[in-house]
Chain A
C-alpha cells in the first residue's frame, strides 16, 4: 500500500499565485520529510526538507507546513513562476534511515 499519499495529481496555477501540494502518512516512525522537484529528463533534486520537531520551514518562496498530530505535511510555493513548472514528490523516511517512500507526484504547471 502507498506509505505516503500525495494530492493533487496535477495542478495549474497562474503566475504569482500560490501552489499547494499535500501529503499524508500513517507510519509514526517517519522522521524525515523531504520534497523533491523533477524537471523533464532529469533526476529528482531536493527542494526542501523538514523533521518533525518543527511545524514549518521556509526557504525563499518554498514553505513546508507539518502537522504531526494529523500526520500531514504540505508544500506551499508562493509567487509561483513558470520556471516552477515541474513534478513535485513528497517523501518520508524513518529515523533508522532504512527505507525511503515517495508520494505519487504532482505535476505543476504555472501559466504566465
Chain B
C-alpha cells in the first residue's frame, strides 16, 4: 500500500531535549516536505527536499533541521525544542513539488 509513515503519532517532551520525528515513503517520490499545522494559520512549510542530499528552507525553518540521506526517509529534528514548537506536524511526499502530495497521519508534539 502506497503510504507516508510518520512516527511517533504523539509526543510530549520537555524544553531543550532533542527529538526526531521520522518520515518514510514507499512511492519512490522525489519531493518530500514537512509542515506544521496551527489553528488559524493553516499548514506552513518548514523544510522541503527535491531529491537526495538536497534540502531547503520553507516558510518557518527556525528551530528545525532535516536530512535526506536516502530517497525514502526525511526525518525532522528539533535540537532544542521550545514550547512555541508545540504543534501538529505533517510529512508529505510527491513525485515532484507541483504534483499531488501524499500526507502522513501527523505527529502531535507538545513541548512543556
Asked if B105 and A49 sit within 8 Å, CB to CB, the answer is: no
CA distance A9 to B39 in the complex (A): 11
Query: Which B-chain residue is minimally distant from A92 (CB atoms)?
Result: B98
Which of B33, B40, B104 makes the CB contact (< 8 A) with A100?
B33
Task: Count contacts between A and B, CB distance < 8 Å.
Answer: 71
A residues within 8 A CB of B74?
none
Contact A100/B96 with A6-B42, A43-B90 known, Cβ cut-off 8 Å: no
How distant is A9 from chain B, measured CB to nearest CB, in Å?
8
Q: For window 94-112 of chain A, which residues contact chain B by CB distance below 8 Å?
A: 94-105
Asked if B103 and A89 sit within 8 Å, CB to CB, the answer is: no
How distant is A88 from chain B, measured CB to nearest CB, in Å?
11
Which of B4, B56, B100 makes the CB contact (< 8 A) with A46?
B100
Which of A43, A97, A103 has the largest number of chain B CB atoms within 10 A?
A43
Q: For window 14-49 of chain B, which residues contact chain A by CB distance below 8 Å?
A: 31, 33, 35, 40-45, 48
CA distance A93 to B99 in the complex (A): 9
A residues within 8 A CB of B104?
43
Asked if A97 and B100 sit within 8 Å, CB to CB, the answer is: no
Asked if B90 and A44 sit within 8 Å, CB to CB, the answer is: yes
B residues within 8 A CB of A42?
105-106
Which of A34, A44, A94, A103 makes the CB contact (< 8 A) with B103?
A44
| Per-position binary interface string of chain A over residues 70-107, scored 1 when its CB falls under 8 Å from any chain B CB and 0 otherwise | 00000000000000000001010111111111111100
Asked if A99 and B58 sit within 8 Å, CB to CB, the answer is: yes
Asked if B105 and A104 sit within 8 Å, CB to CB, the answer is: no
Query: Which B-chain residue is minimally distant from A30 (CB atoms)?
Result: B98
Query: Which B-chain residue is minimally distant from A34 (CB atoms)?
Result: B100
Is A18 an interface residue when CB atoms closer than 8 A count as contact? no
Q: Mark A residues whose CB is within 8 Å of B.
A: 6, 9, 31-32, 34, 36, 41-46, 49, 89, 91, 93-105
Q: Mark B residues whose CB is within 8 Å of A.
A: 4, 31, 33, 35, 40-45, 48, 50, 56, 58-59, 90, 92, 96-101, 103-106
